[in-house]
Amino acid sequence: MSAALVVSFWLTPQFGAIAAAYVISQLAYSIALKAIPILDVFLVSSGFLFRVVSGAAVLAVPISPWLYLCTGLGGLFIAISKRRSELARAGELAGVQRDTLRTYTLGMLDQMATIAAACALVSYALYTFTAKNLPANDAMMLTIPFVGYGLFRYMFLVHVRGSGENPEDILVTDGPLIATVVLWLVTSVAILVSPNI
């Protein structure tokens, strides 16, 4: 970890500061904050946001605040869905598995996930219309349905299939979700390469 931080500061001071903040947040989570309901999922989701911010710092490129917000809210949606899956699977033993699961209910987590997903979709939509580095013809809005479908598919997998405890497994094993990501990428690249469509 120390070596990684040294390299981070060597790349750029901004990246080093972000990496240090990430390490501090993860240590705080591991030592104490993971036991605090709601704050636990916010800290888990912050990891997604730290990755985007650090990438922008290393590449020295500006990123739309709406994309930051979308990433953070998308991460929050995944973290809440993970807690929901843990709670549903563990049942009465949930509190033994994780302290915060004693305080959550499935209904509460469902409401939180719905809010996070809706806000992530709206912030992504606003990103496609307002980001300065996107084509002026607003063609990026054509990618909104892929993001919406991806969020709804993830909800389906969590609620109907009982998945969600291991988000990384969902993202690399679910065919429809993989196809959605590929279609989003292809469409995005086509729009960015041919801005006058």
Q: Which amino acid is at 140?
A: M
pLDDT of 189 > 60? The answer is: yes
- For residues 50 and 21, the answer to whether their CB atoms sit within 8 Å is yes
pLDDT (tens digit per residue) in 120-156: 999 999 999 988 888 888 899 999 999 999 999 999 9
CB atoms within 10 A of CB 60: 9
Global pTM?
0.88
The confidence score (pLDDT) of residue 4 equals 83
Name the residue ranges covered by the structural domains of the chain. 2-193
- For residues 123 and 69, the answer to whether their CB atoms sit within 8 Å is yes
The confidence score (pLDDT) of residue 181 equals 96
Between CA 122 and CA 133 the distance in angstroms is: 19
Looking up tokens 């607003």 gives 138
Using only C-alpha atoms, the chain has a radius of gyration, in whole angstroms, of: 18
Confidence class for position 95, pLDDT limits 50, 70, 90:
low
* ∠ CA 66-79-90, rounded to 5°: 165
User: Measured between alpha carbons, how far apart are the two ends of the chain, in Å?
Assistant: 46
- For residues 155 and 117, the answer to whether their CB atoms sit within 8 Å is yes
* ∠ CA 18-21-23, rounded to 5°: 110
Between CA 187 and CA 189 the distance in angstroms is: 6
Confidence class for position 197, pLDDT limits 50, 70, 90:
low
pLDDT (tens digit per residue) in 39-79: 999 999 998 888 888 888 888 777 888 989 999 999 999 99
pLDDT of 12 > 60? The answer is: yes
pLDDT (tens digit per residue) in 148-177: 999 999 999 999 988 888 888 888 899 999
pLDDT (tens digit per residue) in 20-39: 999 999 999 999 999 999 99
- For residues 44 and 71, the answer to whether their CB atoms sit within 8 Å is no
DSSP letter at 196? T
Per-residue tokens: 80: 């809440």
Helices (H), the chain: 2-11, 13-31, 39-59, 65-90, 94-97, 106-130, 144-159, 167-173, 175-193
Going by C-alpha positions, the residue among 185, 190, 184, 192 that lies closest to residue 147 is: 184
Phi and psi at 100, nearest 5°, equal -65, -20
